[in-house]
Amino acid sequence: MKNKELIEKIRGKKGFISDMDGVIYHGNKLLPGVPEFVKWLKKENKKFLFLTNSSERTQKELQEKMLRFGIDLDESAFYTSALATANFLAMQKPGGSAYIIGEAGLINAMYNAGYSMNNFNPDYVVVGDTRSYSFEKLEQAVNLVLKGAKLIGTNPDVTGPVENGIIPATRALVSPIELATGRHAYFVGKPNPLMMRIALKRIGCSNDETIIIGDRMDTDIIAGIESEIDTLLVLTGISTLRTVDKFPYRPTYILDGVADLIQ
């Protein structure tokens, strides 16, 4: 398929589910073509959702971050692994308690889902993306899990992209707890089908009408494949063409970035 035909096929989709880190921005740096891409989504009345495995920020914080880039979106345009985790736990054990290692996005989501914070005998130890990880928090989490708390990770990402390289993400932070306790965490974020079902419901599209855009083979692309949604890998984040060859599956499409869709 010629590149022009490929792009037109992607543009013909009704629904767009897009990752953020590595697709829309690197840390505080907006990636090329993003304002034009969002403007095109609005102009063409596409159904879209920015679905991020990052659990640090609230929907309001993501909205404000995009506004600083000059892109005006409703809070409802964003959905995070923190929200998915809180909703999952509220269904599993309504009104439960948790010991949380994470930032405002996760803490607020858990409070809003009816959960209380508990450092003594929580139902769950919940770990998300954070820059305030410490040995003291690790020690507390290990002992709570050994006492019976269930271990939950907001997402299975090992690393995340930033302006100057990569940073450890949730799975890297959960691993020491798993090793020390012999217990395995349950991860709620992509590629968990829970996230994809939520995303499709929020945009009101079927899987065959939708495409998922991401920069990671191990979360974004496999999430789409396992949910029977076409996938677009962009090379503005973690993955390269060489990365693709390391996996036993392939994305439906590969482009340099979302800028290619609006040229």
Confidence of residue 142 (pLDDT cuts 50, 70, 90): very high
The domain of 144 spans: 91-187
Does residue 60 sit within a domain? no
Among the candidates 148, 166, 187, a domain finishes at 187
Q: Is the pLDDT of residue 85 over 50?
A: yes
Cβ atoms of residues 50 and 75 within 8 Å: no
The verdict on whether 220 is a catalytic residue reads no
- Of 187, 213, 242, which marks where a domain is finished? 187
- Rounded mean pLDDT of the chain? 95
Same domain, 116 and 38: no
HSE, side-chain direction, 13 A CA sphere, residue 89: 36
Asked if the structure places residue 86 within a domain, the reply is no
Same-domain check for residues 248 and 205: yes
pLDDT at 1: 45
| Whether residue 175 sits in one domain with residue 233 | no
* 179 and 208 assigned to the same domain: no
Q: Does residue 175 share a domain with residue 95?
A: yes
Q: What is the CATH number of the domain that holds 171?
A: 3.40.50.1000
Q: In the chain, where does DSSP find H-type helix?
A: 3-11, 34-43, 59-68, 81-92, 104-112, 135-146, 170-181, 193-203, 222-226, 241-244
Q: What is the mean pLDDT of residues 183-190?
A: 96
Please compute the mean of the pLDDT values over residues 121-134 and round it to a whole number: 96
Residues 111 and 36 in one domain: no
Share of the chain above pLDDT 70, in %: 99
Does residue 245 have an active-site annotation? Answer: no
pLDDT digits (tens, 9 = 90+) for 41-78: 999 999 999 999 999 999 999 999 999 999 999 999 99
Does the pLDDT value for residue 89 go beyond 90?
A: yes
Residue 35: inside a domain: yes
Q: Are residues 176 and 195 in the same domain?
A: no
Same domain, 111 and 48: no
Which has more pLDDT, 100 or 5?
Answer: 100
How many domains would you assign to the chain? 2
139 or 166: which carries more pLDDT confidence? 139
> Rg (Cα) of the chain, in Å, rounded?
18
Pick the last residue of a domain from 143, 162, 187: 187
Residues 100 and 172 in one domain: yes
| 147-174 per-position pLDDT tens digit | 999 999 999 999 887 777 788 999 999 9
| This prediction's pTM | 0.92
Q: Is residue 85 part of a domain?
A: no
**Co-location of 24 and 96 in the same domain:** no
The answer to whether 150 and 158 have CB atoms below 8 angstroms apart is no
Residue 52: φ, ψ to 5°: -115, 140
In this predicted structure, the answer to whether residue 2 has a pLDDT above a threshold of 60 is no
Residue 69 lies in a domain: no
